[in-house]
Structure 1
């Protein structure tokens, strides 16, 4: 009789263990308790019969649950350590970014001073109605500017063309581009490296004067020349360093 009960209990335990093993694939958090219960039940049946199997299974499950909690605690501790390391790294990146920004400010201030010492300033070249021809007054000013730019090769120059509201939108856009091209060609002919010149045109889209404001429209027909104070190479290096730091932080 005892052998029959023992065989029955072992069969039930093994079936239960098989079912628990199947669930283990889908519920990883119960892995250790399931193993503990199954092992404890088998040992309990062998040692103390069905009642021993039940008690052994409970004890084994308790041991497995304790092991699972221990593993979970270790995982949480690892995550906390990793979070602290990431926070420290982000703080280092933030400090480095502040240093880079200060370097940028210092560079800009230094070159603004150099430009002021050499008398290099932004200027506007104004045009007559419907033309892109440079008037003698502005040609003289451009000659002075070109000589200064040649003596200060670090500076970059941005040329932006505009038009008044007279004429069609397409015509004014094309006219503003022609005006920029005229100023660019003039500076290049005077010896300014064309690689230092950037250009853009807005046509009438940024015109300020009304169509009936004859005097005001004169100021809308222009090419603005902006001398960039910061060296582009150093700016690019700083931007590259900043981008690399941010990429490292995100990873």
Structure 2
């Protein structure tokens, strides 16, 4: 009975000792002893007890704990090797993919260089066959006026500036200005009003550097309505001036309907 109690006590003592020994090799002291360490302790204790009694029990347990820890370390090394091998495979796959991308990039660069060479050879020949544009013929701007007014509204000025700029750059350009009026009031008054509107636009072009020799004006009064039926809406569109850029090699308007 005493022998059994001693044996039980020694088993408990050795297991505790093996756990303490295993913990000293780890930074995390909360980890329990591994399965290999416990197996080593028990196996070593049984063998040691059978050979050398209680002293052999203690020595065998200690040796078994060391052997168990060794097996545990070998297992960890094996896992690390497997993880390393997997990482190496992934790295090899990435290198292969990178090589493929580099090849595609080189091919794209070659094709781009070839395209540039072809374009540089074709473009000059293409340009040489194009006609020289001397004038923006029939470029048209339509502006509208308030009732009884010949003042140019500010929101039309940008369009007129653009036309004046084109006319100043094109040597063959001339400006044709045609004025109109709605059908309200006296016909003679409306003819005079349409002439005033044409002159107002002509003065605008003069201010932008366009000489009178390049400008032709005409006034139609109320004789050219856009619609046969008169209404507030149609009156708005009839109070207008049409500005055209024409090539001066073509015929221009030369006589006003009012004999001006």
Instruction: Answer whether TM exceeds 0.5 for this pair.
Output: no
Q: TM-score, normalised by structure 2?
A: 0.43
For the pair shown, which has the larger CA radius of gyration, 1 or 2? 2
Q: TM-score, normalised by structure 1?
A: 0.44
